[in-house]
């Protein structure tokens, strides 16, 4: 299971990096979205994969799941979402001003 999850995260990261390196802002935004998914899953699995651990502290329970990665990943999701929204707005603005979707907007291609 661990190997499968690691491979999945690796694949997401690789696809994200490939898209971030593309010259059009649309691909870059998509790439950053993939990258942030990969990062969020990585943080989440920092608390280890465990299907049987109780999520809450109940009387008498032991070996409960680590709650901190969940809190961390929530913060990371919110920040990542806000940043992506800002980037989309910025990319649209740059496209509006230059007329192209190229990341080096001033050079006409």
Partner 1 sequence: MSHLPILPVVIPLGAAALLLVLHGIGSAGKRIVSLVSVLALAAVAVALLWSASEGPIQVYRLGDWPAPYGIVIVLDRLAALMVALTAALALPVVLAATSGADTRGRHFHALLQLQIAGLSGAFLTGDLFNLFVFFEILLLASYGLLLHGGGLARARAGLAYVILNLVGSALFLIALGLLYGTLGTLNMADVATVLPLVAAQDQALVKTAAALLVAVFLLKAALLPLGFWLPHVYTAACLPVAVLFVIMTKVGVYALLRVSLTGFAAAPFTADLLQPWLPWLAIGTIAVGAVGALAADRLAMVVANVVLMSSGTLLLGVATSSIEATTAALYYLVHTTIVTAALFLLVDALARQRGALADSLGKGPRLASLMALGTAYLLLAVAASGAPPLSGLIGKLMVMQSLAGTGTGPAAWGALLVSGLVVALVLARAASAFFWEPGTADNAAPPASRASTGTRGLWLALILMLAVTPVLTLAAGPIAGYARATARELAAREAYVTAVLGMRATIERERRP
DSSP code at position 62: -
Nearer to partner 1, 14 or 90 (CB): 90
Contact between 66 and partner 1 per CB under 8 A: yes
- Dihedral sign from CA coordinates of 71, 77, 80, 82: negative
Q: Where are the alpha helices (DSSP H) in 1-109?
A: 2-20, 25-45, 68-98
Q: Sign of the C-alpha dihedral, residues 54, 56, 58, 60? A: positive
Token pair 């651990």 in the structure block, residue: 53
76 binds partner 1 (CB under 8 A): yes
Task: Rule CB under 8 A: say whether 88 interacts with partner 1.
Answer: no
Q: Shortest gap between Cβ of 28 and partner 1 (angstroms)?
A: 6
* Contacts to partner 1 from residues 4-43, by CB under 8 A: 20, 25, 28, 32, 35-36, 38-40, 42-43
Q: Count interface residues toward partner 1 (CB under 8 A).
A: 38
């Amino acid at each position: 299971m661990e190997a499968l999850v690691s491979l999945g995260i690796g694949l997401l990261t690789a696809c994200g990096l490939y898209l971030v390196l593309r010259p059009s802002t649309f691909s870059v935004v998509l790439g950053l979205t993939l990258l942030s998914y990969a990062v969020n899953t990585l943080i989440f699995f920092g608390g280890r994969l465990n299907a049987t651990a109780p999520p809450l502290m109940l009387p008498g329970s032991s070996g409960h799941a680590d709650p901190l990665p969940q809190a961390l990943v929530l913060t990371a999701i919110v920040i990542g979402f806000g940043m992506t929204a800002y980037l989309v707005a910025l990319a649209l603005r740059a496209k509006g001003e230059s007329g192209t979707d190229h990341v080096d907007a001033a050079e006409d291609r």
